[in-house]
Amino acid sequence: MTPTRLFTLPFMFAMLAVAAALAYGVNHSSAAADRLSFQAGAGIPRVQQIAAAWGRGEFVELAAPEAAVPPAQVDLPILMYHHVRGAGPGDSELTRGLTVDPAAFETQLAYLQQQGYRTVSMRQLYTALYQGEPLPERSVLLTFDDGYADSYAVAAPLLEKYGFSGTFFIVTGLVGSEGYMNWDQVVELERMGMEIGSHTASHPDLTVLDGGGLEAELAGSAAALSERLAHPVYWLCYPAGAYNEEVLGRCLPAGYLLSVTTEPGQTHSSGDPYRLPRWRVGPGTTLEQFAFLVE
């Protein structure tokens, strides 16, 4: 079961146009001009050719995000979670559909551990796509959308118990609201070895926003996270998986290098970095089905 994703020429040309616009006035013969310019708390990171990623207390240089011809492909199951907690009597049907019981989640983690799986990060996926650095055998990437309080209170401790990590996509405008993590907890997640990404500022349907609205949601969220974490955040998750060509074209200017969708699949391409597929894990996912997803 290895779904494939085709690289389209229109999207390639769109990405090249974005890169060209960003590179306007830049001397490509200068290595210094090919670096990301960023100061913690100083605003939105400016991406040109080379990105610097946060890695355990220090910035790690990443290769230029240029797709090979043909594009490099990486087969990696990315699993999508939302709530990890017990169901509440007042939960809506939508919330129940997004909630995985902690006992089921722990059973899944125990299976991964017993089968020799290793969790990897978005940063590792990026370097695999653009630097050719191989991922460990039996790799899996665990993602958690929305920034719920149970991500910190339930999911993260269970990940730690089994020696795993996860990527948590945060809705910055909801941080500190009832049912969501606060900023101290978001920062603490990263100190625990977890990875932080953006889930926009207010979780809207991005496809109905104009240019100013998209900038506020994408760049605004990146700036808020960068200020709190004191480093750039390069990973984006589209709310409800909704995007269009305009949204895709605004990812790189906002500082993002990879974006995940809600589309099923596990084949990722350096030629299509803003449409990475994921497998959804829900309350009805059996262990047999879970095992099938990660194979």
pLDDT of residue 201: 98
pLDDT of residue 152: 98
Reported for 87-91, long-range contacts at CB under 8 A and 24+ positions apart, including other chains, are 87/283
Query: DSSP class of residue 72?
Result: P
Q: Are 236 and 260 in contact (CB under 8 A)?
A: yes
pLDDT in tens, 72-114: 999 999 999 999 999 888 999 999 999 999 999 999 999 999 9
pLDDT of residue 35: 25
Q: For residue 86, give the 3-state DSSP assignment.
A: coil
pLDDT of residue 70: 83
Fold of domain 9-294: TIM Barrel (3.20.20)
User: CB-based contacts of 158: which residues, under 8 Å, 6+ apart?
Assistant: 84, 102, 105, 106, 109
Q: How far apart are CA 209 and CA 204, in angstroms?
A: 8
Longest dimension (CA), the chain: 62
Indicate the average pLDDT of the chain.
83
What is each CA distance from 242 to 66, 125, 162, in whole angstroms? 25, 22, 33
What is each CA distance from 249 to 133, 220, 289, in whole angstroms? 27, 16, 35
Q: Are 81 and 145 in contact (CB under 8 A)?
A: yes
Reported for 104-108, long-range contacts at CB under 8 A and 24+ positions apart, including other chains, are 104/283, 104/285, 105/81, 105/154, 105/155, 105/158, 106/158, 106/161, 106/162, 107/287, 108/281, 108/287, 108/290
DSSP helix, strand, coil percent of the chain (3-state; round to 5): 35, 20, 45
Mean pLDDT, contiguous 10-residue spans, the chain (295 residues): 35 37 30 27 30 43 59 96 94 96 98 98 95 94 98 98 98 98 98 97 98 97 96 96 97 94 97 97 98 96
Q: Can you give the residue ranges of every domain in the chain?
A: 9-294
